Structure 1
Amino acid sequence: MEKIITVLLTVMMAGSARNIPYVPAVLHPPVPEEARLNLEDVRLLEETDQGPEVTPGLFEGDLALTDELYNYWRVGIRWDVMPQRMWPNGTVPYVISPLYDIPDYVTIYKAITILNSMTCVRFVPWNGKDKDYLIIWPVKQPKGCWSYLGRYGGPQIVSLQPPDTKGPNCLGGEGRSIHELMHALGIFHEHSRADRDQYINVKFENIIPEYRSNFNKQSLENTTYNFEYDYNSIMHYGQYFFSKTKGQPTIIPKKQNVKLGQRKALSKTDCLKINDLYGCLNKSVYQNRKYHILCDILGY
């Protein structure tokens, strides 16, 4: 069975190499003017061993975002503001780079399969013709795990750094792949919700000064929340993200005995949020019940 799977994946990887546009080793994804940093600031993240979601040095660590989108950044909640950022019919064409080793390819494919199984969103192999699609690629610079927010238009990168001698990076499991793919669907980080102060304390004094803007909360004018704050969300920052000193927390939960964020699986709320966002819960009574049950049973 393992040999059959290997052969199938080898064929899939070979097929995915067709018609892929050239992807340079060094990219310059957009960063809002307010959050733009110099090279020395970005190098500081690598030196302090912050992790693959932080080291890209983009907005909130792993988000490529234009100034236009920054002004209405919660596209994951309000499609009426920027409906063009939503994937039409909940269909997301994708291609996985042939540069990944087979085990890493399997990890990425598992993340896609999980999202396809738990939601009505459909990630489908790119047919070589669709204008808008994801290119899942091991970008060398900025290295790490990062994505655009929502549908950007044209071929758009989801960067997933493969394992190296220092560690698993983005592919130690399917969790980080799911995290970045959720950004591509239009989901933002949980810690920036406008109501977050009811649930967490942000310790700005412990944050690397150049990165304090990554902990700003957003205006209610651009956000609505159909679900309660989720400490366990795969989209929540960890307790020590962007800490200037190892061991000093940057976020402290107000609720006792909870862990902030995880990169293992979709939480129940993550699952419901995607289904709500893409109208999966409104298609019929049956569909509503189906996805609530799936999220309740399979949610982490």
Structure 2
Amino acid sequence: MGRRAVAAAAVTVVWCAATVMCRVLLTDTPAARTPRDAHAWHSNSLSGGRREDRQEGQRGDHLAPYQADNTPDDLYESVGEAEAERTLLREWTQDPEVTPGLFQGDIVITSYDLLSMSTRVAINWNKYPERRWANATVPFVISELYGTSERKMIMLAFHSLDFLTCIKFVPWDQVTKDYLLIWPMEKPKGCWSFVGKRGGQQVVSLQAPDEHSKRCFISLGKVIHELLHALGMFHEQARPDRDDHIDIITENIIPDYIGNFKKQSADNATFPFSYDYNSVMHYGSNFFSYNLNKPTIIPKVKGAKIGQRIMISKLDCLKLNELYGCLDNPFDKEKYTAMCTYLGY
């Protein structure tokens, strides 16, 4: 059976497991009904929310002046300053993970030291335990601005991760302090998320379909990509060992966004997983290209494909299970390893 056939089968299995729950939860799932903090995103803008969110969300405030290896990065301060290059980024042909113009395209940085939180693939819980979702449980609210088909895809993404890991997404009870709000933000539009739990209400923005494309709902993997950020995972191509596996074609990158191709620090402990071309967290071959016919990333392995957004990969699945302690118990380790191996992309 080919890889795409296996991926299709995996999606089908998860869909079958989730269908009944989706039908119930689509009617019972809490929509954005102005909870106790009036949803700080009432302005539908990352820069127009509460003062603390505005301070964290503006381009100049949330980008670190230094890389994780303490190398100054002047490019970060100039991201988005050139109108012509912002226009290139906003073109409807660009991937919606790129168009928000945030750190690495779709990540909101909330402090200067976020880069130092990373291991090879995710936040280091030993240093930042508060960024981990307690008891591997993630309460959520889905905006009522989404249509039925978008809500179904969001629920399928939740149940896919429920099924393949010990992490559980549960409807928000309007009491729990920390929860995800899935919301189609207008400023910036696109697909984006914070990394790990930031505390309180936390937006994951998924741009709804428009006249140009299905945007963040073009595939299940798009939604899963942003949820994995919210769970604490970074982009695959930012690993410190990435130069052994890919070539970055700098001359094809929109100049003000070269900083988005920097590597994470190699100082922290790493996960025992190999580089994953199939990762749903890997940039596509033409991300941030000034000409989408010209690649910005080329795999060193001939014929390798990158940037798939079909489904969580086998290694993504194992990484996530490792990250949340789902493999600590021998029985669970055997169960989730088998599920990741057979149902991951």
TM-score normalised to the size of structure 2?
0.81
> What is the distance in 1 between the residues matched to 2:288 and 2:318?
29
Q: Residue 265 of structure 1: which of 307, 311, 324 is its match?
A: 311
Deviations 1:125-170 (A, max 9, x none): 1100111110000111100000000001110100000111111000
Counterpart in 1 of 2:108? 64
List gaps (5 residues or longer) in structure 1.
none
Please, what is the CA RMSD of the aligned residues? 1.9
1:11 aligns with 2:9: no
Counterpart for residue 216 of structure 1: 262
Read off the aligned partner of 1:27 and give its amino acid letter. Answer: L
For residue 193 of structure 2, what is the aligned residue in structure 1? Answer: 147
Q: Bigger CA drift: 148-157 or 67-76? A: 67-76
- Residue 198 (structure 2) pairs with residue 178 (structure 1): no
CA separation of 1:236/1:63 partners in 2, compared to 1, >3 Å: closer, same or farther?
A: same
CA distance in 2, matches of 1:48, 1:156: 27
1:287 aligns with 2:287: no
Determine the structure 1 residue equivalent to 2:341.
Answer: 296
Give how far 1:48 is off: 7.1
Aligned residues of 2:64 and 2:112 also touching (Cα < 8 A): no
Q: Partner of 2:46 in structure 1?
A: 27
Query: What amino acid maps onto 2:45 in structure 1?
Result: V
- Aligned with 2:326: secondary structure? coil
Shift of 1:9: 5.4
Aligned partner of 1:53 in structure 2 is 97
Aligned to 1:228, which of 274, 290, 296? 274
Cα distance in 1 between the residues matched to 2:172 and 2:91: 37
Deviation, structure 1 residue 7: 7.2
Aligned residue type for 1:253? P
Percent identity among equivalent residues?
47
Between the aligned partners of 2:335 and 2:22, the Cα distance in structure 1 is 33
Tell me, in whole angstroms, the C-alpha distance in 2 between the residues paired with 1:6 and 1:187.
26
User: How many pairs align?
Assistant: 295
1:223–1:263 Cα change, 3 Å: farther
SS in 2 for 1:123: strand
Measured at CA, do residues 295 and 6 of structure 1 come closer, stay the same or move farther in structure 2, by a change above 3 Å?
A: closer
Distance 1:170 1:266, change over 3 A: same
Contact kept, 8 Å, 2:239 with 2:264, in 1: the verdict is yes
> For residue 87 of structure 2, what is the aligned residue in structure 1?
43
TM-score (norm 1): 0.93
User: What secondary structure, in the 3-state scheme, does the structure 1 residue paired with 2:267 have?
Assistant: helix
Structure 1 residue 38: deviation in Å?
A: 3.8
Which SS does the other structure have where 2:216 is aligned?
Answer: coil
